[in-house]
Amino acid sequence: MSNHVTAPKGTKDILPADAGRWQHVEAMARELFKAYRYQEIRTPVFESTDLFQRGIGENTDIVGKEMYTFESKSDDPTKRLSLTLRPENTAGVVRAYIQHKLFAQPLPQKLWYTGPMFRYERPQAGRQRQFHQLGVEVLGSDDARWDAEVIVVATDFLARLGLPALEVQLNSVGDDACRPAYRDTLQAYLRSHQDALCENCRTRTEKNPLRVLDCKVPACQPVVQAAPTITENLCDGCRGHQAAVEGYLTAVGVAFKRNDRLVRGLDYYTRTVFEIVSGDLGAQNTVCAGGRYNGLVEELGGPSTPAVGWGLGLERLLMLLPADATPATGLTALIMATHGAAEPVAFRLAHDLRGQGLAIDLANGGKLDKQFKQAERLGARYAVILGEDELAKGVVSIKDLTTREQRSVPLDGVKDALKGAVAGGK
Ligand SMILES: [Zn+2]
Ligand SMILES: [Zn+2]
């Protein structure tokens, strides 16, 4: 027993008892994406390391510390490439968009994805080294309605799942026309307050001053709170864009709160950035984060393409889901044979019923009360009992395990009886 292999640190098995919750969330997402005409895209779990260096930025924690990078195998050393397990999926989607010339198709391209991502981090509740994300990207339009739409898709999704007290926090981080001047203003301000900042923030002041606004260290807060905001420094174009996004959100009744300290760590964000937090007073959790990234496609070698999207961590989301969001197993009936000669009949009946789209399983046999216990454990809706005397007459018993009502049905009528009961919701 002592030398069995276990899953690597930071990874988790999703066992059958949990898989139903995952399927429920994924099914909900698929249904909603279809309603909004988002199409699925599946990209490889590993990509050229270069893609993430260029697409996420060398100065980020992700690229600097958290990537699983390895060399591909080849007998020819000059053909060995540096590959990396994807730490996020926007870069991969953009790579595919450029490589397959999706920009030549009708725009915008409205895409969604889900799958495992990989980051070398210290594991904790809701954070793993292999984790799963769900995300959307709308590529090929800078119209504010898409910024609003991606936010509304997310709030619809989270609301349908039953997440409590959703709040959208919204900001604009400006664009090439107004951010450089703001960056200089902010940098000058921060340089004059270096003594009151943590060591990280002193480094950020020179490398990426906007990220100081993100600092959670209490000592930095007085300086952060008094810092000049991007909001008061936006150009007319950015101001108009933000007003339009807010107008669309208001039109569908999605409440939002302006948060002018909200910045995203990645350099390619332009204009809209947002986070959706869920939870009642005291325990707020960011479940979804995203924004507009008009510069990324060009940065990765494609044509100038405005884009907006978000990503959401599924492990974190599942932790926040109400317990009653777990769906039942959905087994229509468990088939019980009371004697050996009935087993082949039960086997054939199960096969026929499955062919009708019903979810059917065979009981383990043995005493009838044990078989009923099994049906209960499995959450079956009906028990179909193949008794010796009845079967000789060509009939079986169907027992409704909710109402405890039992009736006799001809063997060839089981199909219609169960289908009728399921369709009628009985
Ligand atoms: Zn700080
Ligand atoms: Zn601007």
> Does any domain span residue 198?
no
Residue 179 Cα to ligand 2 midpoint, Å, equals 7
Residue 294 Cα to ligand 2 midpoint, Å, equals 12
Please report, for the domain that includes residue 403, its CATH number: 3.40.50.800
Strands 333-337 and 109-118: unpaired
Residue 53 Cα to ligand 1 midpoint, Å, equals 25
> Does any domain span residue 3?
no
Angle, in degrees to the nearest 10, between helices 144-160 and 16-35: 140
**Whether residues 262 and 310 fall in one domain:** yes
In this model, does residue 390 exceed pLDDT 50? yes
CA 269 to mean position of chain CA atoms:
20
Tell me the ligand closest to 220's alpha carbon. 1
**Whether residues 54 and 112 fall in one domain:** yes
Residue 203 Cα to ligand 1 midpoint, Å, equals 9
pLDDT digits (tens, 9 = 90+) for 327-372: 666 899 999 999 999 999 999 999 999 999 999 999 998 899 999 9
Tell me the ligand closest to 239's alpha carbon. 2
Contact 223, 196 (CB under 8 A): yes
**Whether residues 141 and 262 fall in one domain:** yes
A 10 A CB-CB count for 260 gives: 16
Give the chain's domain count.
2
**Whether residues 50 and 98 fall in one domain:** yes
**DSSP labels for 176-197?**
TTTHHHHHHHHHHHHHTTGGGS
pLDDT digits (tens, 9 = 90+) for 99-139: 999 999 999 999 999 999 999 998 888 789 999 999 999 99
Expressed in angstroms, the distance from the first to the final Cα of the chain is 48
Residue 344 Cα to ligand 1 midpoint, Å, equals 72
| Residue 279, pLDDT score | 80
**Whether residues 341 and 315 fall in one domain:** no
Burial class (CB in 10 A: 0-12, 13-18, 19+), 53: middle
End position of a domain, from candidates 288, 304, 324: 324
Tell me the ligand closest to 190's alpha carbon. 1
> Does any domain span residue 209?
no
Tell me the ligand closest to 235's alpha carbon. 2
Strand, helix or coil at 336? strand
Q: Where are the beta strands (DSSP E) in 119-158?
A: 130-139
- Express the helix, strand and coil content of the chain in percent, nearest 5 each: 45, 20, 35
**Whether residues 363 and 237 fall in one domain:** no
**Whether residues 353 and 316 fall in one domain:** no
pLDDT digits (tens, 9 = 90+) for 393-403: 999 999 999 99
**Which 8-state DSSP code applies to residue 327?**
P
Residues 6+ apart with CB under 8 A from 383: 333, 334, 335, 336, 371, 372, 375, 398, 399, 401
% of residues, the chain, pLDDT over 90? 77
Mean pLDDT across the stretch 220-236? 94
Name the band, by pLDDT with cuts 50, 70 and 90, for residue 280.
low
Alpha-carbon gap, residue 171 to 260, rounded angstroms: 6
Name the band, by pLDDT with cuts 50, 70 and 90, for residue 77.
confident
Tell me the ligand closest to 227's alpha carbon. 1
Instruction: Write 328-332 long-range contacts (CB < 8 A, 24+).
Output: 328/379, 329/20, 329/359, 329/378, 329/379, 330/359, 330/379, 331/359, 331/360, 331/361, 331/378, 331/379, 331/380, 331/381, 332/358, 332/359, 332/360, 332/380, 332/381, 332/382, 332/418, 332/422
Residue 272 Cα to ligand 1 midpoint, Å, equals 24
**Whether residues 347 and 367 fall in one domain:** yes
**Whether residues 263 and 337 fall in one domain:** no
**Whether residues 251 and 307 fall in one domain:** yes
| Residue 322, pLDDT score | 78
CA 298 to mean position of chain CA atoms:
26
Alpha helix segments (H runs only) across 265-401: 296-299, 314-320, 343-355, 368-378, 388-392
Summary count for the chain: helices (H), strands (E): 15, 16
Name the band, by pLDDT with cuts 50, 70 and 90, for residue 61.
confident
Residue 214 Cα to ligand 1 midpoint, Å, equals 8
Whole-number average pLDDT of the chain:
92
Residue 247 Cα to ligand 1 midpoint, Å, equals 34
In this model, does residue 264 exceed pLDDT 90? no
Tell me the ligand closest to 294's alpha carbon. 2
Strands 130-139 and 109-118: antiparallel
Residue 322 Cα to ligand 2 midpoint, Å, equals 41
Name the band, by pLDDT with cuts 50, 70 and 90, for residue 208.
confident
Residue 209 Cα to ligand 1 midpoint, Å, equals 11
End position of a domain, from candidates 324, 356, 386: 324
Q: Give the position of tokens 């991606």.
A: 150
CA dihedral of residues 384, 388, 391, 395 (deg, nearest 10) = -50
Structure tokens at 2: 């002592």
Residue 184 Cα to ligand 2 midpoint, Å, equals 14
**Phi, psi (deg, nearest 5) at residue 375:** -60, -40
| Residue 424, pLDDT score | 65
**Which 8-state DSSP code applies to residue 163?**
-
**Whether residues 316 and 371 fall in one domain:** no
Mean pLDDT across the stretch 292-307? 95
Mean pLDDT across the stretch 177-193? 94
| Residue 426, pLDDT score | 47
Name the band, by pLDDT with cuts 50, 70 and 90, for residue 374.
very high
> Does any domain span residue 5?
no
Alpha-carbon gap, residue 292 to 304, rounded angstroms: 14
| Residue 393, pLDDT score | 94
> Does any domain span residue 77?
yes
> Does any domain span residue 248?
yes
> Does any domain span residue 2?
no
Of the candidate ranges 32-41, 78-87, 210-219, the one whose mean pLDDT is the lowest:
210-219
End position of a domain, from candidates 296, 324, 352: 324
> Does any domain span residue 76?
yes
Structural domain range at position 94? 16-178+230-324
Residue 208 Cα to ligand 1 midpoint, Å, equals 12
- Report how far apart, in Å, the C-alpha atoms of 118 and of each of 28, 288, 376 are: 24, 18, 40
Please report, for the domain that includes residue 242, its CATH number: 3.30.930.10
**Whether residues 38 and 156 fall in one domain:** yes
Residue 236 Cα to ligand 2 midpoint, Å, equals 7
Alpha-carbon gap, residue 230 to 88, rounded angstroms: 27
- Whether omega before 218 lies within 30 degrees of 0, making that bond cis, reads no
Tell me the ligand closest to 213's alpha carbon. 1
| Residue 318, pLDDT score | 92
Q: Give the position of tokens 């930071």.
A: 10
Name the band, by pLDDT with cuts 50, 70 and 90, for residue 12.
very high
Tell me the ligand closest to 180's alpha carbon. 2
Contact 139, 305 (CB under 8 A): yes
**Which 8-state DSSP code applies to residue 124?**
B
Strand, helix or coil at 228? coil
**Phi, psi (deg, nearest 5) at residue 396:** -135, 165
Name the band, by pLDDT with cuts 50, 70 and 90, for residue 79.
confident
Residue 295 Cα to ligand 1 midpoint, Å, equals 27
**Phi, psi (deg, nearest 5) at residue 211:** -70, -15
- Report how far apart, in Å, the C-alpha atoms of 171 and of each of 131, 275, 287, 331 are: 27, 9, 17, 47
